[in-house]
């Protein structure tokens, strides 16, 4: 199968990184630095990015990576560097063969910094470029809600392989979404899912483990004969998407169920496996540009599960023009059968605002 090696590497790399993020959450040593875009970033971000880039470079040394972090903060702060290095050394897959497939442990703190700095690609539409978000949904992570470790391979600007690890989502693909899904990570029983998809090959979920990969289950979006019955997902943060516009759209579609708010690409995962139906992320400002790492993996997953993802105006998302989706505004993900209907209503609500 095409991209078999890439998919296996991405699944195992994300699984190892999730061991680190879970240990950071439970140890409460959440040293939070401020980043210029004011989203909180944690030691987990640095450790997970270093582990994943080291895995990619061990197997595909010439591939580029678009990542969110670099090693500057760690170089400037030896205590932080040592803390992250300790966590990176402890994050091991319990199955030696699986660990070997992703290059084994990082050899030194210097190698860790080098790996972290390996995420500086500017993106583009040529060749093989990985888009990585080591902890997507940092606020969800910090409060014990939903977050995701996200990795996608783009080939000539097209998301082709997507893997997302969601440590706090229920393993059961059919577990209904409710408002508590974004908040309660302390109950670990039956939680932790690893999603994967390759363009043209369908989408899967499996339990997230700390060793070798579990057997995959095929996932598909739920058939939605009546859009009024839909469960729709949106971001927790009002700064990320316009809750008011989204409520108007739901009303016009006849949707009466309350929206389910959760952080991160766990929203893409939830609709891909039929636990939710629609994901709306409408622009809150004219200038905001979506980052490619916030969407690339989720887009492959939803497409392969039978859905369609475009911007708010029905335009295809262009992942091949840099680190952001600067040609697109907003995101709408829905089952293929109802996507056009949803877009129609989205355009109606957005154009009413312009008047």
Report the catalytic residues: 45, 138
DSSP string computed for 137-188: -HHHHHTTS--EEEEEEEETTEEEEEEEEEEEEES-TTPPP-GGGGT--S--
Residue pair 195/219 in contact by the 8 Å Cβ criterion: yes
Phi, psi for 8 (deg, rounded to 5): -60, -45
Question: Long-range contacts: 76-84, Cβ < 8 Å, 24+?
Answer: 80/31, 80/33, 80/43, 80/46, 81/109, 81/113, 82/109, 83/29, 83/31, 83/43, 84/43, 84/46, 84/47, 84/50, 84/112
Residue with tokens 């058939």: 223
Phi, psi for 337 (deg, rounded to 5): -65, -25
- Rounded to an integer, what distance in angstroms lies between the CA atom of residue 87 and that of residue 47? 7
Instruction: Quickly count: other Cβ atoms within 10 Å of residue 216's Cβ.
Output: 16
Instruction: Quickly count: other Cβ atoms within 10 Å of residue 291's Cβ.
Output: 17
Residue pair 233/262 in contact by the 8 Å Cβ criterion: yes
Q: List all residues 6 or more positions away from 147 whose beta carbon is below 8 Å from its beta carbon.
A: 21, 135, 136, 137, 138, 140, 141, 166, 167, 168, 263, 264, 266
């Amino acid at each position: 199968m095409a991209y078999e090696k890439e998919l296996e590497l991405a699944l195992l790399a994300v699984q190892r990184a999730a061991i680190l993020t879970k240990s950071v959450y439970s140890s409460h040593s959440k040293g939070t630095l401020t980043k210029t875009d004011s989203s909180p970033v944690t030691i987990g971000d640095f450790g997970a990015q270093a582990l994943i880039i080291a895995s990619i470079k061990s197997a595909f040394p010439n591939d580029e990576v678009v990542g969110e972090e670099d090693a500057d903060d760690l170089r400037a702060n030896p205590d932080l560097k040592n803390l992250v290095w300790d966590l990176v050394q402890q994050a091991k897959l319990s199955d030696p063969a699986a660990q070997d497939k992703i290059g084994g442990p990082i050899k030194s703190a210097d190698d860790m910094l080098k790996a972290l700095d390996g995420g500086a690609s500017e993106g583009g539409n040529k060749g093989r470029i990985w888009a990585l978000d080591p902890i997507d949904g940092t606020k969800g992570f910090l409060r014990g809600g939903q977050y995701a470790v996200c990795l996608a391979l783009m080939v000539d600007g097209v998301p082709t392989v997507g893997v997302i690890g969601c440590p706090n989502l229920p393993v059961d693909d059919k577990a209904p979404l409710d408002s508590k899904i974004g908040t309660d990570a302390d109950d670990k029983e039956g939680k932790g899912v690893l999603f994967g998809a390759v363009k043209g090959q369908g989408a899967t979920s499996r339990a997230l483990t700390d060793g070798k990969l579990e057997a995959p289950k095929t996932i598909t979006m739920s058939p939605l004969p009546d859009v009024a019955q839909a469960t729709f997902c949106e971001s927790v943060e009002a700064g990320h998407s316009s809750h008011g516009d989204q409520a108007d759209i739901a009303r016009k579609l006849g949707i009466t169920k309350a929206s389910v708010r959760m952080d991160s690409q766990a929203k893409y995962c939830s609709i891909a496996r039929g636990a939710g139906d629609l994901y709306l992320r409408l622009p809150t400002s004219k200038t905001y540009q979506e980052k490619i790492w916030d969407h690339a993996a989720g887009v492959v997953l939803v497409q392969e599960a039978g859905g369609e993802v475009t911007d708010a105006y029905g335009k295809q998302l262009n992942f091949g023009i840099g680190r952001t989706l600067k040609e697109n505004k907003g995101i709408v993900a829905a089952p293929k059968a109802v996507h056009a209907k949803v877009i129609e209503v989205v355009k109606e609500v957005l154009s009413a605002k312009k008047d």
